[in-house]
Each structure stands twice: as structure tokens, then as C-alpha cells.
Amino acid sequence: MTNSTKNTLRLTVERMAYGADAIAHTDDGKTVFVTGAIAGDVVEAHIVQAQKNYLRAATAEVVEPSSQRVESACPFSSICGGCPWANLSHEAQLKAKRDNVIDALIRIGHMEPSIAQELVKPCAAPSKPWGYRNKVELAFKRQGRRAIVGMHAHTEAGADPMVVKVDSCPLLAGRQRKVVKAVSGALGYLAGSCDITLDRVGIRTSAKTGDLEVALWTAPGPFPRAQAAKVLADATKATSVVRVLTKGPKKARKVTGVEVLGGKGMWRERLGGNTMMLSAPSFFQVNTAGAQRLVDLVLEGLSPTEDDEAMDLYCGAGTFTLPLAERCAWVSAVESYGPAVRDLRRNLDAVGLGNVEPIGGDAGREFPDGQANVIVVDPPRAGLAPDVVKKLSAQPARAIAYVSCDPATLARDLARFSAAGTFRPTSIMPVDLFPQTYHVETVCLLAHKE
């Protein structure tokens, strides 16, 4: 590293962080988080924030590009926040994701480096690196009587959020990429003729069922329902147009209802041999091929039999519940989110599975009374609460499949399982459900200690 001015550094970038930035170090060893760079780059970077133990910098010039640097398939990737790793080759992305899982296990889970290296398998790539998403979300921002509808721009913390208007999103499947432009144009027209404000706009598509749903997230109150339905249906040929009503602070808004403005009022996706029906507020993985790989890995790891009782915590609308019920004698399925519980019941009825007990409520408070042979846990980013780890550790199950969307909370929870002494991890498979981003899903298998 060479200082060229007081606020500019020449940096050799070492690796990707678990985030949008890359990591370098100053001559005196201070960590620098660098925006706009990838591992292997030599860059000139401006310091934008100086803390006691680290710096944040923004790339001004790539002096020597990394051998891993590629041309992004999206012209907006440098300003849109949706694909921060778009200039990193897919092979390098897979390696960086595995490295970040290992780093979390060592740094947060206090796992021996040699054990972490042995447990974590090469990152699986179940889908194409572009055109894999079944869902995108658009931002809505008013400017007087006009409205901008587009992608969230990458902005520094505390800065005014910006919206980038785009014609298409290459992360969406090929035939549906242009739907972003159609929805943006339709809502821009609607906003010009009606005084509407939207929190966000969800677009879900399926190449397997042909479904296309547009969900308008708004506060309760007057709304041009018929006009919105007509404008969006004409522009997109959507099979479903819904309005999701929310209340509360921005970071903790709660869904108070869903209004069907047009079409089916739900979105369908095919997973394995089942067609799942989901309401707009319900979670489903944005990568259908990736979701199928997660299901396959869980079933392969647990090897459920027709005599087994299974437990599925944080089960959502039934991604793992349905295939478990097709193989096991009984499944106890726990989910706290009301819309997902309703979708789960509907999906079970649709396929005629009566050997499942859907349980609505918190996984800790509503922990099933029975003793399971196999267990699946797929918690949100916050991971497992300490009381859930304690209750799981008291189960006689032969195996637990822990599906995680955050390496840090997975590492923390594995340390808690280790302290309890009942289950030990036998393999950790990173799965690239989100190419062009730093996010990584993992399937961790834990076996009961004999």
C-alpha cells in the first residue's frame, strides 16, 4: 500500500468480506473495507470513514484488475444494490462463500481451523449465475406528482435512499426480465393520475407454472383498486395482482391484510412433485432450483423412513414439510407467521396429506411434545434462540438438518450445540442460492452422539 494523499490509499485487495465490500489492509495492519473492488485488485481508494480499528474506502480507480474480475451482465450493477459481486467470476464467488462460512465457524463458533476446513464442503451451484430469481422487489419514490419505480441504489449508511430506474433485471428468468419495465411504467402512470404511495412492489414469476404476481405493499387507507388492477393487468398480463396492507414502524411493519385486486390472489411454484401456493407475504426462496437443492440435501442427509416421526421448525408454507410428510409417518410443523401457516394448511389440503400437525406460534413456546427421529430447522437470519437449542439437544433424534441463511448465527448456534454435548456437526454444505451477491445458504447436518 502507498499513500498518495492524506485521504487516498493504494490498496491490494486480499479477499471478499461477508458483505458488499472487499478487504485490504494498510501498512500498519489496519483493516480497510473497500467498496467497488474485488479480491486481487490493486486500487486507488478514497477514505470515506475512519474508525479506531478499521477504515471504509470507496474505489476511485482500479489500477491493476484482478484475474478474477469479469464484465458484469448488468449495466446497473455498480449503482444498484442487487448484485454487488457482479464483477467477480462465479468460480471465485463460490470459493469466497465457502471461505466466509469457514471464517465464521472459526471466528464466531471458535471451531478448530482444521475441523472447519474438513466439515465445509465446496459451495454447490444449483442454478445459472444469472436469470435465476423468481422474485424481485422494486422501490417507489415520489417526486412531486411523478413517481420513480425501480431498484434500490447502493448508498452509504445514513444517506438519502435513491431509486434507480431500470429497463430489465438480468437476475430474473429470461422471458420475465422485461416485466420490471412494464410494472415501473404502469405504476408511474398510475401515480401520475392518482395520489398513491407504495412502500414497495413485489414481483414473483414462475417458469414452471407460468404465474406472475404483482404485490403492492401499502399502508391501509383509500386506494384506486380497480384502476391499479386494470393498469397492471394490461401492462404485464399478471395472473395475480394483490395489495398487502401493513402497519407500524418501517423496520417492524406488520401485515394486517391482503386485498385481491385481480386474478388468483396467490402465486404458484412447482417444487419436486408438488405445486405450492403462496400468498404475497409468505416466504419462498427466490431461487427455485436452489430451493430444490436444499430439499434434496436435507432428505439425503436425514434419510427419513415411513416409520419416522419428523419435526419441522420455522416451516413456512411447507418447503420441507411436504416432502417429509410424503416419507414419514408423522410431521409436527411449527411456524409463527400467520400468512405462512394458512398457506401451509392450504398446500397440505391440496396434496391430500393428513399426517401433518401445523402448529402456529413461536418455535420455543410451541415446541412439539413428541420425540422426533429426524428434525429440520430453517430459522430466519437471527438463527435459533438459546431455549430452542436446549430443547433440540434434549431430543433423541438421530439427525438434525439445520438450514441457515447466515454463517454468523449458524456458527454461534453450533457452538451452543457443542456446549450441550448431544449433537455434533458431520457436514456443512454451502449452497449458492444468490449468485452475484455475498449471501450464502448452508445445510448443516448434525448427528446424535452415541
Which CATH number is associated with domain 2-64?
2.40.50.140
Pick the CATH number of 135-266 from 2.40.128.130, 2.40.50.1070, 3.90.25.10, 3.20.20.70: 2.40.50.1070
Q: What is the pLDDT of residue 4?
A: 46
pLDDT for 192 equals 85
By C-alpha distance, which of 288, 280, 272 is closest to 321? 272
The percentage of residues in the chain with a pLDDT greater than 90, rounded to a whole number, is 82
Give yes or no for residue 2 having a pLDDT over 80. Answer: no
- In tens, the pLDDT along 325-360 reads 999 999 999 999 999 999 999 999 999 999 999 999
| pLDDT at 168 (0 to 100) | 85
Whether residue 3 has pLDDT greater than 70 = no
pLDDT at 377: 98
Residues 432, 434, 440, CA angle at the centre, nearest 5°? 55
Domains 2-64 and 135-266 share a fold: yes
Closest to 339 measured CA to CA, from 274, 417, 410, 284: 284
Contact yes or no for 68/142 (Cβ under 8 A): no
Q: Rounded to whole angstroms, how far apart are CA atoms 373 and 395?
A: 8
Domain map (residue ranges) of the chain: 2-64, 135-266, 271-448
Mean pLDDT of the chain: 93
pTM of the entire predicted model: 0.94
The residues with which 78 forms a beta bridge, in sequence order, are none
**Cα separation of 404 and 297, whole Å?**
13
CATH number, span 271-448: 3.40.50.150
What's the pLDDT at 412? 98
Digit-coded pLDDT (tens) for 145-203: 788 888 877 665 555 667 888 888 999 987 788 899 999 999 989 988 888 889 999 99
How confident is the model over 31-56, as a mean pLDDT? 94
Examine the pLDDT at 257 and tell me if it is beyond 70: yes
Decide: 426 and 121 in contact? Cβ < 8 Å.
no
